[in-house]
């Protein structure tokens, strides 16, 4: 395997807001703790060390979550180390997508492990624990129930409602059979993959268990700690913020002000807050809480509370309240001794709208680090690339740009119609000057004739391009085919394809390569030639 790195601004498919963070746009200076580098962690460590948290509770919950599972020594040591004030976390998070969902799920985890190792090498007096936080409280089933393998979609069918992490795993075994049927039996590591996924499904009591087992099997050897935040003890620590959200709706005011400030600088909003950013939450249900008059109501139900009743419920059963995307960062940072959050462009965008919110609650705002993005290029695509006039880098452009570049390089100087248009324009300009000396009214006539002639040349140029395309149909078809494989359905590969096809082909070596090479502090797009 070979790693090639390129600048993000050469990559098709990234948003302007994403590029603004990658390029460290000054407009974001007030929205971050600092721009990420290995040196800036010194101040972040100092700030987080002063923040009080219940480390013993964190260790206790993690040990309970890992009880009954095969836990590596590295992960056990990392969990126990969190009891020490010299130990900190580096976090990434995602919903429990079916069989990990899109490739960037893997890139997030590899990025957080790599950074933890890098921090340990630099600040040896501390311990740094890579943590993956599962968003199992989310209830948008359609966001997590599909996976794409070799341009075919596998779907998990389930009629349950409510938080996906608490759902029954029924039906996932059928989805697994479909996935393995698509992979076939020829890939050298498909049996190992089938064992990992099959064991995860067979031993699961809830859907969250499947996700935990897969990630633990693939990344436990690196000491990764998997954390499910759906815990009553954690919610108890979050009670003050839950109550403030219900009574004062502080986040609505603060975050809207931050977003307005960013928009005044030309940066589009990512996630506007609601007045109350909480759900009422239990098995089979996760519905928004709204305030109407002096009553708190749960949408799509007959449930309602007075202020006194809902605050009493918070104290008695905080697990019945679930934060939305606006409060989830606060919830996470309340529980963890965290230094940095690694996320995708969209995630980083909504985190940059939260700094004042963190300051309001006196919670240290973590360093924000954009996860690595990568493009997997298998041997078949590399062979096809060798039959085109372009290198791999060129295919990061749009297909239209590639086609135009090809046509430019394959039109001889004899058909340089831009020069022809310019020459015609010059001739008619001279004629217009002469005509104006004879009769001023003739000038408009000459200019109209000039426009007609230039338009006629444009038609000729279009027909020539069409003929050139037909003449080079094989090459243009190959270019289109390669582009569609690197950008399936016009999406970045990492947002569409699943890891299974790459693991089946390359096994643990592929995972190890990602961990060793995806350094989120590099701020480069990675091209991975698989060979």
In sequence order, which ranges of 189-231 are alpha helices (DSSP H)? 190-202, 207-219
- What pLDDT shows up at residue 458? 77
Query: Distance between CA atoms of 410 and 408, rounded to whole angstroms?
Result: 6
Q: How far is CA 153 from CA 15, 148, 159, in A?
A: 26, 4, 19
Residues 128, 216, single domain; the answer is: yes
Give the tokens for residue 150.
């070799």
Q: Which domain holds residue 351?
A: 2-237+326-373+494-529
Burial of 448 (0-12, 13-18, 19+ CB in 10 A): exposed
Query: Distance between CA atoms of 198 and 509, rounded to whole angstroms?
Result: 21
Query: Distance between CA atoms of 13 and 16, rounded to whole angstroms?
Result: 10
**How many CB atoms within 10 Å of residue 141?**
17
Query: Distance between CA atoms of 482 and 152, rounded to whole angstroms?
Result: 17
Residues 6+ apart with CB under 8 A from 276: 245, 246, 249, 252, 288, 289, 290, 291, 296
Query: Distance between CA atoms of 169 and 201, rounded to whole angstroms?
Result: 7
Residues 42, 172, single domain; the answer is: yes
Sheet (strand 278-282) strand order: 304-305, 295-298, 285-292, 278-282, 321-323
**Is 124 part of any domain?**
yes
Q: What is the pLDDT of residues 228-281, one digit of tens each?
A: 999 999 999 999 999 999 999 999 999 999 999 999 999 999 889 999 999 998
- What pLDDT shows up at residue 468? 67
Q: pLDDT of the chain along its 531 residues, tens only?
A: 999 999 999 999 999 999 999 999 999 999 999 999 999 999 999 999 999 999 999 999 999 999 989 999 999 999 999 999 999 999 999 999 999 999 999 999 999 999 999 999 999 999 999 999 998 898 899 999 999 999 999 999 999 999 999 999 999 999 999 999 999 988 999 999 999 999 999 999 999 999 999 999 999 999 999 999 999 999 999 999 999 999 999 999 999 999 999 999 999 998 899 999 999 988 789 999 999 999 999 999 999 999 999 999 999 999 999 999 999 999 999 999 999 999 999 999 999 999 999 999 999 999 999 999 999 999 999 999 988 888 999 999 998 898 888 877 765 544 556 777 777 878 888 787 877 777 777 778 878 888 888 788 778 877 776 776 666 688 888 899 999 999 999 999 999 999 999 999 999 999 999 999 999 999 999 999 997
Residues 482, 498, single domain; the answer is: no
Residues 84, 218, single domain; the answer is: yes
Give the tokens for residue 443.
């000038």
Residues 346, 462, single domain; the answer is: no
DSSP state of 89: E
**Is 184 part of any domain?**
yes
Q: What is the pLDDT of residues 151-205, one digit of tens each?
A: 999 999 999 999 999 999 999 999 999 999 999 988 999 999 999 999 999 999 9
- What pLDDT shows up at residue 153? 97
Q: How many domains does the chain contain in total?
A: 2
Burial of 443 (0-12, 13-18, 19+ CB in 10 A): middle
Strand partners, 128: 88
**Is 290 part of any domain?**
no
* Pairing status of strand 321-323 against strand 278-282: antiparallel
Residues 473, 500, single domain; the answer is: no
**Is 214 part of any domain?**
yes
**Is 268 part of any domain?**
no
**Is 295 part of any domain?**
no
**Is 168 part of any domain?**
yes
Residues 129, 191, single domain; the answer is: yes
Query: Distance between CA atoms of 411 and 385, rounded to whole angstroms?
Result: 21
Residues 129, 185, single domain; the answer is: yes
Residues 17, 40, single domain; the answer is: yes
Residues 66, 136, single domain; the answer is: yes
Residues 105, 146, single domain; the answer is: yes
- What pLDDT shows up at residue 453? 86
**Is 421 part of any domain?**
yes
Residues 344, 390, single domain; the answer is: no
DSSP state of 497: B
């Amino acid at each position: 395997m070979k790693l090639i790195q390129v600048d993000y601004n050469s990559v098709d498919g990234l948003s302007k807001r994403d590029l603004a963070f990658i390029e460290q746009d000054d407009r974001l200076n007030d929205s971050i703790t600092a721009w990420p580098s290995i040196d800036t962690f010194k101040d972040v460590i100092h700030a987080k060390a002063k923040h009080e948290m219940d480390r013993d509770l964190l260790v206790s919950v993690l040990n309970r979550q890992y009880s009954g599972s095969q836990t590596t020594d590295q992960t056990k040591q990392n969990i126990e180390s969190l009891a020490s004030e010299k130990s900190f976390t580096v976090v990434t998070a995602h919903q429990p997508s079916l069989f990990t969902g899109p490739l960037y799920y893997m890139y997030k985890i590899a990025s957080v492990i790599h950074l933890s190792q890098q921090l340990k090498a630099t600040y040896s007096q501390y311990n740094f624990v890579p943590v993956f936080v599962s968003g199992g409280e989310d209830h948008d089933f359609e966001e997590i129930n599909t996976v794409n393998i070799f341009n075919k979609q596998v779907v998990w069918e389930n009629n349950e409602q409510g938080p996906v992490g608490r759902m029954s795993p029924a039906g996932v075994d059928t989805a697994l059979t479909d996935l393995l049927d698509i992979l076939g039996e020829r890939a050298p590591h498909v049996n190992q993959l089938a064992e990992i996924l099959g064991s995860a499904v067979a031993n699961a009591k809830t859907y969250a268990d499947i996700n935990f087992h897969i990630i633990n099997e693939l990344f436990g050897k690196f000491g990764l700690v998997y954390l499910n935040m759906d815990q009553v003890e954690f919610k108890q620590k979050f009670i003050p913020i839950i109550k403030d959200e219900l009574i004062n709706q502080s986040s609505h005011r603060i975050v809207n002000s931050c977003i307005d400030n960013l928009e005044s600088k030309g940066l589009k909003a990512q996630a506007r807050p609601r007045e109350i950013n909480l759900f009422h939450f239990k098995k089979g249900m996760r519905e928004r809480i709204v305030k109407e008059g002096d009553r708190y109501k749960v949408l799509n139900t007959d449930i309602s509370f007075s202020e006194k009743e809902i605050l009493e419920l918070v104290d008695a059963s905080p697990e019945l309240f679930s934060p939305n995307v606006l409060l989830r960062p606060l919830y996470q940072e309340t529980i963890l001794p965290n230094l940095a959050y690694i996320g995708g462009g969209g995630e980083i965008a909504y985190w940059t709208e939260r700094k004042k919110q963190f300051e309001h609650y006196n919670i240290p705002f973590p360093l924000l680090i954009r996860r690595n993005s990568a493009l997997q290029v298998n041997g078949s695509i590399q062979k096809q690339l060798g039959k085109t006039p372009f290198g791999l880098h060129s295919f990061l452009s749009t297909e239209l740009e590639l086609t135009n570049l090809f046509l430019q390089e394959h039109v001889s100087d004899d058909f340089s119609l831009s020069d022809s248009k310019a020459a015609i324009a010059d001739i008619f300009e001279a004629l217009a000057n002469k005509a104006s000396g004879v009769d001023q009214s003739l000038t408009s006539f000459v200019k109209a004739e000039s426009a007609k002639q230039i338009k006629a040349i444009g038609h000729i140029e279009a027909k020539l391009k069409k003929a050139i395309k037909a003449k080079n149909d094989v090459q243009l078809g190959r270019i289109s085919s390669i582009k569609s494989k690197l950008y399936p359905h016009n999406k970045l590969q990492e947002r569409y394809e699943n890891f299974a096809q790459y693991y089946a082909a390359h096994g643990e070596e592929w995972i190890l390569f990602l961990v060793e090479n995806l350094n989120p502090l590099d701020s480069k797009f990675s091209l991975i030639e698989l060979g």
